[in-house]
Amino acid sequence: MLTRLIDWSLHHRGVVLLGTLALALSGVLSFQALPLDALPDTTPPQVQVNTLAPALTPVEVERQLTVPIEQALAGLPQLEQMRSLSKPGLSQVTLQFGDGTDVWFARQQVSERLGHVSLPQGIERPTLGPVATGLGEIFHYLVKSRTRSLTELRTLQDRVIAPALRGVPGVAEVNSWGGEEKQWHVVVEPRRLQQFHLSLGDLYQALEANNANVGGGRVEQAGAARLVLGVGALEGGAAVEEVTVAARDGVPVRVRDVAQVRVGPALRQGATTADGEGEAVLGLGFMRMGENSHAVSQALAQRLEEVRQRLPPDVQVDIVYARTELVEQVLRTVRNNLLEGALLVVAILFVFLGHWRAGLIVAAAIPLSLLFAFNAMVPLGIAGTLMSLGAIDFGLVVDSSVILVENAERRLAEDAGRRGVLEVVRDAAVEVRKPTLFGELIILVVYLPILTLEGVEGKLFRPLALTLIFALLGSALLSMTLMPVLASFVLKPGRGPHREPRLVALLQRLYRPVLDGALRHGRAVLAGAALLTVGAAGAALGLGSEFVPRLSEGTLVINTVRLAEVSLAESIRYGGHIEALLRGKFPDEVKRVWTRTGTAEVATDPMGLELSDVFITLHPRAQWTRAGTQEELVAEMKAELADLPGMRMAFLQPIEMRVNEMLAGVRGDVAIKLFGEDLDLLKAKAQEVEALVRPLPGAADVTVEQVTGQPILHVTVDRAAVARYGIPARDVLDVVEAVGGRRVGDVREGERRVELAVRLAEEYRQNPAQLATVSVVAPDGVRVPLGRLATFREVSGPTTVQREGGQRRLVIQANVRGRDLGGFVEEVRRTLDAKLELPTGYAVRLGGSFEHLERARQRLLLVVPVALALIFLLLYVTYGRVRDALRIFAGVPFAMVGGVLALLVRGLPFSISAAVGFVALSGVSVLGDMVLVSRVRQLLGRGLAPGEAIREAALSRLRPVLMTSAVAALGFVPMAFHTGVGAEVQRPLATVVIGGVLSSAVLTLLVLPVLYAVLGTGQKPQEP
């Protein structure tokens, strides 16, 4: 069949050229439609359920909201994990579903279950978080003004900017963080209520009963119908003041008689500061799941520019973080790697082939194979990312074309014009069609194990394998169609004896005595190769391990934790101080810095007031003066901030932080999770774990999750006292509720509505002693101070209650610096097993990115042997002899030697990226061996003696062996040594392939001929 395909192509050369042109045009169009991103989105389908209860403490939130919601959602189809967070006023339940689950189906199931949840009266129904993933937070902008209040800025954000941005295609949510949300306050003076013998309940009821519009149907009169509308809704503060609460002796008592009505901020759950210049409002754009972050981020920036034109001139809106920048930096790295790799490959082709015509023919396979891959990527939904495009080695792509064109060029030179060019090219193509095609198939087979990876590791590396497989399929097709056609047009018959290029001739002169020496001392060569292989295997066991290298995003995040009782004002002051310090100490490194504290309007990232995230965007590295790498910069910043009192900090990056949090519920590299019921006992055991982990080598930013220390003022109803006075407990709780503010409706302002809340005057809200003097009116008119009806007690309670799998959870998290992640985790396990004792019912479990490493390693250990067996089967089918198949297969372990040594020399740990390199090596390493073995078999079939055949084959095939090895290795050189954004992820893969290809070339040129000589050929001197 392959022969017929080659014959057809050479007889229909015009059709082949037109088909190639169509392929190229289609590939260009596909590239224009290709979605672009920095990395594949690795987060699984998730649904967040948020429930607000502003007045409840964490334990009450857990008891009244979180547990009932968890119980209702347990057992959903394809649900893999459920964890929850209970903070003051907020319950968040996060549900993680299995890969492949339709997120809309999952949200529908969650919504149906939530419809049956029974919650306390007055609590709003749970809402679902945005349809976004851990990589969905793609856009940050600041709204600032020197003349306007935070309330005005927040109003502009909520009413003008955010609605406009939500209309951008692909946007899931535009969130608001910080500022002061506008609210109408009815500020009550309790003494005035007492004067009119009124209670807070009376005020609540009056405001709720005097604020509505109703429909009255239709009235028909004289053949005409009129709609009836009853208007009673409050519009503006003046209307609120005129609401009648009661009547005394025929005189109405209005709201203005007992309270002041004014605009004020809602109870603040968070704040944003920027550049050490004070507070601002932060807007966050979230991309909908499955969208193109590059396109959506660009569209958000364009829409924001349009919105700027509608804002007052004294309002400034600045984009401080856009995923577009990271994507463009990563794609710049990918583009440079591909371009430099292609140029190196083309240069090698020119040098080894000896003239420009043959080099240009082979070079044409590079862009055409890539365009072929684009045609397959678009319909399968594979984005152009660091993983899919960044790991393509054009040296592998052109291998089959190299072998064909080199053989055709040599055959034409040897033929010296005796036959037609078409006939010679056809015979040359047919001669190598079997080994080249089977070589391509072997490389395809070795990438199949990567397609079996699951979870995060699968989403990260499957695009890489698929893209390379598509490019190799295109290359194989081109090598049997376009390459023979181009060779027939471009290559010319030789006019004299065939001469090798000067470099090849020089290499042959150097290689000949080395080969002769190896053949004379064959057993010593084999013994040395065996010892080297065994030594490399031992060294491989000592390599450290990590999941994937940390991608440098160009933006840092400092997670800061202060004392639980810290106020919002103090957190704001502290955040501004950190910003000013960083900008002052690192002017050449820090571009912008902003801090978000607490929780946003939509609780996508809920934190307490004691927690802040300090975001730092960086200038290009060429401008840095205090550090050369991001790791050095982090160390410098940590040293500058180390003296700040009362604060713990951990350095991360935005995508890294969000992915860790979405997958494991924590922000660090390693999470040690303690499970149990008693929070005090969990805290004590967590402190033991912290003391055990902190001294371990590589441990950094070791922190215990802060879950206790929240001061709480308990106002407990005295049941006996309220019974004596006949006062309902509800009247007592009405007073307590008015401390924070009770929502009683909305005030209409044109098309918009603003919340209306009742709250006590400031002196009663800030001083418990004053609060105790507020009187509650008994049914008989007696006024009883609150202090007689309830007990006031200050206690320390939880700041947060975390749950996972239906149990309370406390996390000790750590980052790993200067050490491999896998080795650190193993030492942590050994240490905890030996020294940590837990009571019955309590458990410890480790979580983090290392889990993906372990799962991927187990899967590869299962499927890689199967792939290797398939390679051996293909080799046996190709040559029909077990002995020849074993000779070629010996190249696999010897190639691994070079990969291991390369990792050791560069000080790189084993990672899944490196594992992909080893998988690729197992296919690449057999290509040169196949060329040599095929030539030996041809010469033996012509009657040459075994020794002469081995020597002649090794010398005559020096050029294709060196050429295929050189293009494979040099194609990866830019990836191995590039320092751009994203290069960290590619470096282990490229290092392994380069080292392995070099050691494989040594095997092919020295060890394989010796194997033939020592073990015999197993072939009779005639063509079978």
Q: Are residues 906 and 964 in the same domain?
A: yes
Helix, strand, or coil here: 247? strand
pLDDT above 50 for 1020: no
pLDDT in tens, 363-418: 888 889 889 999 999 898 888 887 788 767 777 777 778 778 877 877 777 776 67
- Domain endpoint, select from 776, 792, 811: 776
* Residue 267 DSSP label: P
Look up tokens 């740990």; give the residue.
909
CA 685, chain centre distance (Å): 32
Rounded Cα distance, 106 and 829, in Å? 35
Instruction: Verify that 537 and 645 share a domain, yes or no.
Output: no
Which pLDDT value is given to residue 415?
A: 72
Same domain, 586 and 645: yes
End-to-end CA distance of the chain: 21
- Give me the pLDDT at residue 1022, please: 41
Angle subtended at Cα 3 by Cα 892 and Cα 481, rounded to the nearest 5 degrees: 80
Assess whether 653 and 529 both reside in one domain: no
Q: Please name which of 559, 571, 603 lies closest in space to residue 88, comparing C-alpha atoms.
A: 603
Helices (H), 34-142: 58-61, 67-73, 103-114
- Phi and psi angles of residue 773, each rounded to the nearest 5 degrees, phi first: -85, -10
Same structural domain, 625 and 701: yes
Q: Which two tokens stand for residue 430?
A: 């047919």
Q: Which amino acid is at 337?
A: N
Closest CA to 814 of 847, 786, 787, 770: 847
Q: What is the pLDDT of residues 472-487, one digit of tens each?
A: 888 888 888 888 888 8
pLDDT digits (tens, 9 = 90+) for 969-995: 887 888 888 776 777 777 888 888 888
Spatial neighbors of 588 by CB under 8 A, at least 6 apart, are 619, 623, 624, 625, 626
Average pLDDT, integer, range 656-681? 76
Task: Give me the pLDDT at residue 588, please.
Answer: 92
577 in any annotated domain: yes
- pLDDT for res 107: 93
Q: Are 4 and 12 in contact (CB under 8 A)?
A: no
Instruction: Give the pLDDT mean for 492-513.
Output: 74
- At residue 593, the pLDDT reads 94
Is 82 among the domain residues? Answer: no
| Mean pLDDT of the 908-918 span | 83
Same domain as 734, residue 626: no
Residues 587 and 521 in one domain: no
Give mean pLDDT, residues 896-906: 88
**Rounded average pLDDT over 713-720:** 90
**pLDDT at residue number 391:** 67
More confident: 544 or 225: 225
> For position 514, which CATH number holds?
1.20.1640.10
Q: Clarify whether residues 705 and 734 are in a common domain.
A: no
pLDDT at 260: 92
959 and 842, same structural domain? no
* Total domains in the fold of the chain: 3
Mean pLDDT of the chain: 84
| pLDDT at residue 117 is higher than 50 | yes
Which neighbouring-strand residues pair with 742? 758
pLDDT attached to residue 1023: 39
CA–CA dist 276, 93 (Å, integer): 35
Say how many C-beta atoms besides its own lie within 10 A of residue 283's C-beta: 28
CATH number at residue 637: 3.30.70.1430
Percentage of the chain with pLDDT > 70?
Answer: 96
pLDDT at 494: 62
Residue 264 lies in a domain: no
Q: Give residue 664's pLDDT.
A: 58
With respect to residue 516, please indicate whether it lies within any of the assigned structural domains: yes
Cα separation, 164 vs 174, whole angstroms: 9
Q: What average pLDDT does the segment 66-89 reach?
A: 90
pLDDT level of residue 1021 (50, 70, 90 thresholds): very low
608 is a domain residue: yes
Q: What is the DSSP letter of 808?
A: E
Lowest mean pLDDT among 126-130, 151-155, 975-979: 975-979
- Taking the C-alpha atoms of residue 440 and residue 363, their distance in angstroms, rounded to an integer, is 18
Same domain, 706 and 751: no
User: Residues 152, 161: contact at Cβ < 8 Å?
Assistant: no
226 Cβ partners below 8 Å, 6+ apart? 218, 219, 220
Under a CB-based contact definition with an 8 Å cutoff, are residues 945 and 1020 in contact? no
Q: Which of 470, 389, 546, 466 is nearest to 915 (CA)?
A: 546
pLDDT band at residue 11 using 50, 70 and 90 as cut-offs? confident
Q: Tell me whether residue 644 is in a domain.
A: yes
**For residue 80, with 0-12 CB atoms within 10 Å meaning exposed, 13-18 middle and 19 or more buried, which class applies?**
middle
Is 854 part of any domain?
no
C-alpha–C-alpha distance, residues 235 and 408, integer Å: 88
> Is the model's pLDDT at 849 over the cut of 80?
no
pLDDT of residue 666: 62
Q: What whole-number distance in Å separates Cα of residue 458 and Cα of residue 449?
A: 10
- Choose among 141, 147, 144, 109: nearest CA to 128: 109
pLDDT at 1024: 37
- Report the pLDDT value the prediction gives residue 411, as an integer from 0 to 100: 79
From CA 418, how far away is CA 427, in angstroms rounded? 14
Assess whether pLDDT exceeds 90 at residue 581.
Answer: yes
The answer as to whether 964 is a domain residue is yes
Report the phi/psi class of residue 703: left, alpha or beta, with left for phi > 0 and alpha for psi in -120 to 50. Answer: beta
Q: Are residue 205 and residue 249 in the same domain, yes or no?
A: yes
Specify whether 653 is located in the same domain as 744. Answer: no
pLDDT digits (tens, 9 = 90+) for 987-1018: 888 888 888 888 888 887 888 888 777 766 55
CB neighbours of residue 537 within 10 Å:
13
Strand 251-254 to 213-221 pairing: unpaired
The pLDDT assigned to 350 comes to: 77
- pLDDT grade for 160, boundaries at 50, 70 and 90: very high
Report strand pairing: 182-188 vs 752-760: parallel
Q: Which domain holds residue 196?
A: 190-218+227-257+729-776
